[in-house]
Amino acid sequence: MLYSILLFYNLKMFSVAAVQSAFHEALVQDQDVDIKNYVLAYQELCKFCSHLGGLFSFVVNDLEDKIGCLNQLVTEDELHFSTVQNMLNHETSNKLVFSGRSGSVTLLRLHRGLEFIILFMSKLLKLQPNDSTKRSAQEAYSQTLAKHHSWLIRNGALFAMNFLPCQRALYDQTIGNTSVEETLNTMPEMISKASKVHERVNNLLSDYEILNIP
């Protein structure tokens, strides 16, 4: 019984190495992004978000819904949803961008969330173990996701971030038994890969005039 509990606990822990690997595999061709590996990376990032406190549960649920939507689209039609460029070309050509199950708009929402996560994690690297993480989270949020949210959501999110722990405690509660030193050594490369993926998706969404959809 105890083994099962520990196994479940470890499965829910966040792995920087897993995100780094998935984002690396997501970089395909010259400027395209593989959707399956993008989703794999984001599933792991959801584990990180799930450890930020109960007030972030609505964020995690929303991300998981969007990840599930992309997963289903790839499963049902891998020919048109294998990469971001294939998906955007298919949905724009067939006027599916504003349909009820638009992969393009779903990706856009995840894309904006990824910008916040990348910036927040970059700021975490600059903190000392006992430094509070709330200001880093609030600054990252204000510079990214906040501009896409209503006043009510913005204030709720900023309030929730007041309860984030110090840097060391945040690492301890998100990575489990993984060495903090190992995590810190891997994070710069993970952030670099995530940033490259984000840049490619940003360029593709811009090329297909989807980037600025409200």
What pLDDT digit, counting tens, does each position of 154-204 carry?
A: 888 888 899 899 998 988 888 876 777 788 888 999 999 999 999 999 999
Q: How confident is the model at residue 131 (pLDDT cuts 50, 70, 90)?
A: very high
Question: How far are the Cα atoms of 25, 75, 110, 182 from residue 33, in angstroms, in the given order?
Answer: 9, 17, 14, 27
16 C-beta neighbours (distance < 10 Å), count: 25
Q: How confident is the model at residue 153 (pLDDT cuts 50, 70, 90)?
A: confident
Which tokens sit at 77? Answer: 């039609």
pLDDT for 3 = 31
For range 31-40, the mean pLDDT: 97
Digit-coded pLDDT (tens) for 87-130: 999 999 999 998 888 999 999 999 999 999 999 999 999 999 99
Rg of the chain on CA atoms, in Å = 17
pLDDT for 6 = 31
pLDDT for 54 = 63
Rounded to whole angstroms, the Cα distance separating 214 from 200 reads 20
- Decide if pLDDT at 55 tops 90: no
- Residue in this structure with the two tokens 């520990």, named with its chain if needed: 6
Residues in the chain: 214
Q: Mean pLDDT of all residues in the chain?
A: 88
Angle at alpha carbon of residue 211, lines to 205 and 214, rounded to 5°: 145
